[in-house]
């Protein structure tokens, strides 16, 4: 299923796409697409075609609500590590985004005050669907609800020049677009063989494949579950392929008016407009 959340006025409602791409309302089945819904079993066997059609164009919300943790893996593509001139890490590099960075897939990217180096990063997102603690690599994917597109928007000066952790450059408002859909894992036969692209103003910047991940999704989940319990609704961004602005000569960063388009095979498209934060 392609699960999603949409705004109607100021309220957010759960939805699902039918086989023809028509939006159907899920609010009679679950109150939201969140950890509770993903573990309740209520979505199992839903007759999507019997659900009411949602009329009109709806603004999409982040495809999962009530996110407990927004975990991110850095430097996880071999070709991106080469681009950055950094050694292959021995273990997954972990940082966190503030949950307040989460935004809808087509919401504007807001350049924070003082920003001079805001960058794009298309990433394969993983949504946890079953509590994971001390899980093995062999069973890790049993704990996945599905996959989504994430833009790990990053302010590089905040990230590298303001003393502290990467989180400073990763957590600004709007720096975590998620969606358009949460695609359940039964629709993705091999998450380690998905194409990823990112265009800025119609120019292709990133082209990659999840088969270039240094640490697979199963390895990431197993590793993280050794140190913390992963709960349903937690989100993991699994790293970005080469082509980020920081890696260009000279570096190229986002400015007001830019259009960013991200796509992952089978997971849909995000489109964002960049503007200065008020």
- For the chain, the structural domain boundaries read 2-50, 70-276
- Print the SS3 string covering 211-269: HHECCCHHHHHHHHHCCCCECCCCEEECCCCCCCHHHCCCCCCCCCCCEEEEEECCCEE
Q: How far apart are CA 133 and CA 140, in angstroms?
A: 10
**pLDDT for the residue 86:** 78
Q: How far apart are CA 5 and CA 10, in angstroms?
A: 12
* pLDDT tens, position by position, 140-187: 999 999 999 999 999 999 988 887 778 899 999 999 999 999 999 999
* pLDDT tens, position by position, 216-228: 999 999 999 999 9
The strand pairing partners of 5, in sequence order, are 14
* pLDDT tens, position by position, 209-254: 999 999 999 999 999 999 999 999 999 999 999 999 999 999 999 9
What the block records as the tokens of 264 is 């992952």
Q: What is the DSSP string of the chain?
A: -EEEEEEETTEEEEEEE-TTS-EEE-TTT-S-SSHHHHHHSTTTT--GGGSPBPPS--PBPPSS-S-S-EEEEES-BHHHHHHHT-PPPSS-EEEE--GGGEE-TTSPEEEPTT-S-EE--EEEEEEE-S-BSS--TTTGGGGEEEEEEEE--EEHHHHHHSSS-THHHH-STT-EEB-S-EEEGGG-S-TTS-EEEEEETTEEEEEEEGGGBSS-HHHHHHHHHTTS-B-TT-EEE----S--GGGSSS-----TT-EEEEEETTTEEEEEEEEE--
| Residue whose C-alpha is closest to residue 148's, from 215, 65, 89, 76 | 65
Is the pLDDT at 257 greater than 90? The verdict is yes
Q: Which CATH superfamily is domain 70-276 in?
A: Fumarylacetoacetase-like, C-terminal domain (3.90.850.10)
What lies within 8 Å, CB to CB, of 114 at 6+ separation is none
**pLDDT for the residue 83:** 76
The phi and psi torsions of 174 (rounded to 5 degrees) equal 80, 5
Q: How far apart are CA 258 and CA 111, in angstroms?
A: 11
| Contact yes or no for 208/229 (Cβ under 8 A) | no
| Contact yes or no for 97/127 (Cβ under 8 A) | no
Query: How crowded is residue 271: how many other Cβ atoms within 10 Å of its Cβ?
Result: 14
* pLDDT tens, position by position, 74-113: 989 988 777 777 788 899 999 999 999 999 999 999 999 9
Q: How far apart are CA 63 and CA 67, in angstroms?
A: 10
What mean pLDDT value characterizes the chain? 95
**Residue range 265-277: average pLDDT?**
97
């Amino acid at each position: 299923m392609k699960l999603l959340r949409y705004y109607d006025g100021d309220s957010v409602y759960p939805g699902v796409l039918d086989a023809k791409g028509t939006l159907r309302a899920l609010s009679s089945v679950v109150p939201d697409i969140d950890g509770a819904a993903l573990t309740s079993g209520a979505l199992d066997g839903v007759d999507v075609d019997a659900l009411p059609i949602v009329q009109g164009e709806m603004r999409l919300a982040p495809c999962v609500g009530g996110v407990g943790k927004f975990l991110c893996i850095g430097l996880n593509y071999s070709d991106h590590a080469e681009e950055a001139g950094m050694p292959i890490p021995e273990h997954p590099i972990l940082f966190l985004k503030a949950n307040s960075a989460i935004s809808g897939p087509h919401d504007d990217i807001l350049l924070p005050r003082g920003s001079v180096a805001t960058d794009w990063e298309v990433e394969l997102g993983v949504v946890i669907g079953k509590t994971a603690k001390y899980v093995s690599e062999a069973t890790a994917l049993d704990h996945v609800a599905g996959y989504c597109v994430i833009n790990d928007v990053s302010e590089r000066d905040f990230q590298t020049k303001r003393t502290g952790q990467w989180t400073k450059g990763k957590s600004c408002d709007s720096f975590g677009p998620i969606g358009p859909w949460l695609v359940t894992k039964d629709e993705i036969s091999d998450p380690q063989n998905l194409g990823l692209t990112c265009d800025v103003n119609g120019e292709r910047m990133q082209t990659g494949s999840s088969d270039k991940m240094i640490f697979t999704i199963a390895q990431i989940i197993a590793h993280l579950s050794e140190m913390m319990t992963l709960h349903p609704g937690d989100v993991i961004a699994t790293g970005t392929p080469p082509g980020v602005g920081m890696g260009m000569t000279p570096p190229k960063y986002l400015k007001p008016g830019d259009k960013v388009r991200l796509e992952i095979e089978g997971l849909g498209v995000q489109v964002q407009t960049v503007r200065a934060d008020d």
